[in-house]
Chain A
Amino acid sequence: MIKVENLHKSFGETKVLKGINTSFEKGKTNLIIGQSGSGKTVFLKNLIGLFEPEQGNIFFEELQYGKLNNSERIELRKKMGMVFQGGALFDSMTVEENVMFPLKMFTKKTTTEMLHRVHEVLERVNLNEANHKYPAEISGGMQKRVSIARAIVNYPKFLFCDEPNSGLDPRTATVIDNLIQEITKENNITTVINTHDMNSVFEIGEKIVYLQDGLLAWEGTKEEIHHTNNKELSDFVYSSNLFRKVRQAYQKGL
């Protein structure tokens, strides 16, 4: 579980996060949604430690991030997996080497043991035909799957995904969504996904956090979104005809 208390972050005079309080539950897919410029990425970067919060606390289970020393932070980071928007795979390494990288860096496993685990996770993400290819030689969807494999290879407790569906066709996007949800359940990890893909919201959103102008404007489940009175959230979620019809159908009990 991740708990966030009164999180503030500014860049110069610009206040990006203005006091966010929320929590992300273990074993659930937690989604952060919001318009461009609402502070989603900055919020996620605070959670994964790429930005230092200006004020407020972040608790990873019982650990308060701000009170950890450098080596404790490194230990905590080893328990995190991150799927970046563009995959962030290392260009100079093959798929297999990319996935093996966290094991090489942080474990004392032999090469055989590492390869066994790598093949296990690549199989889990349905990708065992591209082991020796370089990232540039595989499709965007495959890169995302490799990125997920790399994020989970060292048994993380926390999984963060930054727009995992961006640039993917709808079918592949659904496959990736479902894969992330299944992995979350199988490993009982806390997953936080930053997205503005409404398909993801209705597909896998077990807890949804809506940010607006650096503030938490709404939080709840995907079912609760259909009944919300929050105008900005409704305008954001139901901006397309398709989703307005989904809402009407839901309200009619279809």
Chain B
Amino acid sequence: MHYISSIGRYFIMIKNTFRKMTKRKVLWNLIFQEVNDLVIKSMGIIIFISFFIGAVVTIQTALNLTNPLIPRELIGFAARQSIILEFAPTFVSVIMAGKVGSFITSSIGTMRVTEQIDALEVMGINSLNYLVFPKIIAMLFYPFAIAIAMFVGIGGAYLAGVYGGFLESGQFIQGLMDDFIPFHIFYAFFKTFIFAFLLATIPAYHGYYMQGGALEVGKASTTSFVWTSVVIIIANYIITQLLLS
């Protein structure tokens, strides 16, 4: 029962986020601030993770392809498929549920505890629109970060594969181009947009409706990470089932 009411309240929150818009000039500044906080400041960790995940995927694929009848190009092909279809959009999003999600929950939760949200409401401002809407819009830039993650991941795969002595440069590039299906790019970015929306709204929900003090802000951040990850994984399964099978 508790879960059902929470889901209902989440959708009501989404609806209310788009009501009573904040003054446009103020909103623009908030959106730029959020793009910086949520996307640009996450680029370091995204690049770091993507590079090494790409490298590890290549090494593991290479080490498992021991049959001499299997062409070495398959390593490049497998790296491309894993990075574009899963590692960049899904794996990075789960990491972002920890980084961006905790940031959103704790910042909104602290505003709740210190009555800053009440202050906004008393002034006649729709606090949901003021706080959550700019985060949703800022996260529209998240797919750009994932695109960079894809490039860096493939770069990491190339370096690990070629300089690790598993295959030659030409073989890797040939593997990258083999059986390329453009729809896979659409699929990857479609689910990235969905994850971006979840990354902005689920942590915001946990921060906005939290009750208590500083300790509860910490607990809300943890709960938010768990639920954002769970919903991303479930959404990933549903989208994959609908678009790829």
The residue of chain A having its C-beta at the shortest distance from the C-beta of B125 within the complex is A105
Flag whether B26 is at the interface (Cβ < 8 A). Answer: yes
Q: Are A102 and B123 in contact (CB under 8 A)?
A: yes
The reply to whether A88 and B115 form a contact with Cβ atoms under 8 Å apart is: yes
Q: Give the interface of A toward B (CB within 8 A).
A: 48-50, 70, 73-78, 80, 82, 84-86, 88-91, 101-102, 104-106, 160
Contacts of A105 in B (CB 8 A): 22-23, 26, 123, 125
Apart from A48-B122, A84-B119, A88-B115, what 19 extra A-B contacts exist at CB < 8 Å? A49-B121, A50-B122, A77-B122, A80-B123, A82-B122, A84-B118, A85-B115, A86-B115, A88-B118, A89-B116, A90-B116, A91-B110, A91-B111, A102-B123, A104-B23, A104-B26, A105-B22, A105-B23, A106-B123
Can you report 7 A-B residue pairs in the complex whose CB atoms are below 8 A from each other?
A77-B122, A77-B123, A77-B124, A86-B114, A86-B115, A90-B119, A104-B26
Which residues does B use to contact A, with CB under 8 Å?
A: 20, 22-23, 26, 110-111, 114-116, 118-119, 121-125
In the complex, the answer to whether A78 meets B123 with C-beta atoms within 8 Å is yes
Instruction: Determine the chain A residues whose CB is within 8 A of the CB of B123 once the complex forms.
Output: 77-78, 80, 82, 101-102, 105-106
With both beta carbons as reference points, the residue of chain B lying nearest to A75 in the complex is identified as B124
* Interface contact B124-A78, CB-CB below 8 Å: yes
- A77 contacts which chain B residues (CB < 8 A)? 122-124
Query: Which of B20, B110, B114, B119 meets A82, CB within 8 Å?
Result: B119
Task: Specify which chain B residues have a CB less than 8 angstroms from the CB of A75 in the assembled complex.
Answer: 124
- Does B26 contact A50, Cβ atoms closer than 8 Å? no
- Expressed in whole angstroms, the Cα–Cα distance for A101 and B119 within the complex equals 11
